[in-house]
Chain A
Amino acid sequence: MRIVSAQKAEKLSFAGLWLCTAIVILPVLGITVVLVWRGASALSWDLIVGTPHGLLAPIVGTILLVTLTGLIAAPLGIAAAVYLTEYSRGGPLVRLVRLAIVNLAGVPSVVYGLFGLALFVTLFHFGRSLLAGACTLALLVLPLVISTSEEALRQVPGSLRHASLALGASQWQTVRRVVLPNALPGIITGLILSIGRAAGETAPILFTAAFYSLTDPFPNSLLDPILALPYQLFVMVMEVPNVAPATKWATAFVLLAIVLGMNIVAVILRARLRGSRRW
């Protein structure tokens, strides 16, 4: 009797757990299907290069923005991760730094936007610009870059560090010649994922980088504002009347494709490098 009820309970709990898991994938699937269905069909060459509301300028703006974000966040984040994993030996300061990183990751993105406005746009006189937006986004993704880089560095076995140190290498020589080259694939994967996240963010660039223009959409310098896909979408939906629905769907589709594309590249890269790594 007990055995039967245990079996029943097992089946019931299996069904329940399976259902919850299935529900998790529904929104992802739903968003993707709807966007592909309505967005991809609306996408045309004319929509990309045509005016007004051509997608070329916001695509270029987003790519410039995330590239610059990566260029700023990578050296800072990797250096911090190297310090934390390879050099620091604990202590109150390091605990404080880690606490700061964890909390930084929890700060709402709109707060980053306001901070960027106050610091980069106003105080540093960058104005509303590509540079100010990239700096703000770099701050946003920094915790993610640091933690993924730390993870990649920790994957390098200690025995390789010991071998290098025992041959008379300094700490820095060991980091540069053994640890970093072996951690680099993981670091790059983390970086792409982080930048993918930055590509979709709206709030941080709202006050710092993005603008809406039909006449002068391409930036000429780092200090020019830019069109960016998330902001473009926001403006088209909320503020500009009479934009064709197809244009909005196509914009959303392109944004999703860029973000998902970056994630897929990162996942493939990680899988490949994992396969080729041996120690």
Chain B
Amino acid sequence: MSAAEDKYILHPEGEIKIETKDLDMYYGNFQALTDVSVAMPSRHITALIGPSGCGKSSFLRCLNRMNEVIPEARVDGQVLLDGNDIYQADTDVVQLRKRVGMVFQRPNPFPMSIYDNVAYGPRLHTATRGSELDEIVERSLRGAALWGEVKDKLHQSAMDLSGGQQQRLCIARVLAVEPEVLLMDEPCSALDPTATFRIEELMTELRESYTIIIVTHNMYQASRVSQYTGFFLLGEIIEYGHTEQIFENPADRRTDDYVRGRFG
């Protein structure tokens, strides 16, 4: 029995959107992930929890190859998106990142107008302009539950919005390229409770149409929004299963200790 099979890893029923197989990741000589094999189901929210430095954010960045932004990073193993390995030599990274969108820890709108922020992606990938582009912008802002607040100031700077509005703008910006998967890297860590609540509501709505994978420090958030939860520790995935089970009746002692707040 290998080490991986010792772990309590559920293979979810139904359609799998993203699956990793024996994923290892290194920053130079430092191994950040070891043997991560996990399957994330379509149109559900999967939460990744674990203490700081456990590799959950590194794992998330493997799923849209954003780890490649870091010069020293290197990946072994497979990441299957709809069954196709995204680390194959012929993968079009641009197409991949269109399909797998990402929302970052701190809101990072471009220093441009609200409209131009949302239109950024469509303008990259298509020749859309005029009323067609207006429609995409409106649809995306509605999708991110921001339209009502900004519809009269679309051409004002995005930097004048509040932190929570900026984060929803970043979500709208991702929605505008019509992704299939949304990766969220602690999207509420820089936000106040009210703004956090709005983002969580939004995630629940978005779940109808998107596969969402969220990294979070906040265990209440994980238990509120997700259907599946994975617990990471020291670069390994220790346990993965239905959220209720992970929080109420975890199989591994370390998961139990973590979700009960005995360390973290």
Question: Are A168 and B102 in contact (CB-based, < 8 A)?
Answer: no
Report the separation of the CA atoms of residues A160 and B120 in the bound assembly, to the nearest whole angstrom: 12
A182–B104 CA distance with the chains assembled, in angstroms: 20
Cβ of A1 within 8 Å of any chain B Cβ, yes or no, is: no
Given contacts A162-B104, A278-B159, A279-B159, contact A167 B121 (CB under 8 A): yes
Mark each residue of chain B from 71 to 108: 1 if its CB lies under 8 Å from any CB of chain A, else 0.
10000000000000000000000111110011010101
In the assembled complex, how far is the CB of residue B61 from the closest CB belonging to chain A, in whole angstroms?
Answer: 9
- Scan residues 93-141 of chain A and give those whose CB is less than 8 A from a CB of chain B: none
Q: Which of B71, B97, B110, B111 contacts A166 (CB 8 A)?
A: B97
- Min Cβ gap B92→A in Å is 9
Which B residues are in CB contact (< 8 Å) with A155? none
Q: Which residues of B contact A178 (CB under 8 A)?
A: 110
Decide: A164 and B71 in contact? CB cutoff 8 A.
Answer: no
Is B64 among interface residues, defined by CB-CB distance under 8 A? yes
* Contact, CB under 8 Å: B102 / A166: yes
Among B98, B106, B120, B173, the one with the most A-chain Cβ atoms within 10 Å of its Cβ is B120
Residues in A166-205 with C-beta less than 8 Å from chain B? 166-170, 173, 177-178, 182
Q: CB-nearest residue of chain A relative to B98?
A: A168
Distance (whole angstroms) from the CB of A33 to the closest CB of chain B: 43
CB atoms of B108 and A168 under 8 A apart: no
Query: Which residues of A56-80 are within 8 A (CB) of B?
Result: none
- A-chain residues with CB within 8 Å of residue B222 when the two chains form the complex: none
Q: A166-B66, A168-B125 are in contact. Are A159 and B97 (CB under 8 A)?
A: no
A165 within 8 A of B: yes
Say yes or no: A278 contacts B98, CB within 8 Å. Answer: no
B124 closest partner in A (C-beta): A169
Chain B nearest CB from A223 CB (Å) reads 44
In the complex, what residue of chain B is closest to A279 when comparing beta carbons?
Answer: B111
A30 at the interface (CB under 8 A from B): no
Tally of contact residues, B, Cβ under 8 A = 26
Residues of B within 8 A of A169 (CB): 94, 120, 124
Q: How far is the CA of A241 from the CA of B166 in the complex (A)?
A: 71
Main secondary structure of the interface of A (DSSP, over half): helix
Interface membership of B170, Cβ < 8 A: yes
| CB–CB A163/B104 < 8 A | yes
- Given contacts A159-B104, A159-B106, A159-B108, A167 and B120 within 8 Å (CB-CB): yes
On whether the beta carbons of A168 and B95 are closer than 8 Å, the reply is yes
Q: Which residues of A contact B170 (CB under 8 A)?
A: 163
- Residue numbers in B under 8 Å from A168 (CB-CB): 94-98, 121, 124-125, 177
**Residue among A167, A169, A170 having the largest count of chain B Cβ atoms under 10 Å:** A167
- A166: chain B residues at CB < 8 Å are 64, 66, 97, 101-102, 104, 174
Q: What residues of B have a CB within 8 angstroms of the CB of A165 in the complex?
A: 66, 69, 97
Tell which of B95, B111, B124, B159 touches A167, judged by Cβ atoms closer than 8 Å: B124
Task: List the B side residues contacting A159 at CB < 8 Å.
Answer: 104, 106, 108
Proximity string of chain B (148-175) to chain A, C-beta cutoff 8 Å, 1 when within and 0 when not: 0000000000010000000000100110
Can you report 20 residue pairs joining A to B where beta carbons are below 8 Å apart?
A89-B71, A159-B106, A159-B108, A160-B111, A163-B109, A166-B66, A166-B101, A166-B102, A167-B121, A167-B174, A168-B95, A169-B120, A170-B94, A173-B124, A177-B124, A178-B110, A277-B111, A278-B111, A278-B159, A279-B111
Known: A163-B108, A168-B98. 9 other contacts (CB 8 A): A159-B106, A159-B108, A162-B104, A165-B69, A166-B174, A167-B101, A169-B94, A178-B110, A278-B159
Q: Which residues of A contact B (CB under 8 A)?
A: 89-90, 157, 159-170, 173, 177-178, 182, 277-279
The 7 closest A-B pairs by CB, nearest first: A159-B108, A166-B102, A168-B97, A168-B98, A167-B121, A168-B94, A163-B108
> Which residues of B are interface residues toward A (Cβ below 8 A)?
64, 66, 69, 71, 94-98, 101-102, 104, 106, 108-111, 120-121, 124-125, 159, 170, 173-174, 177
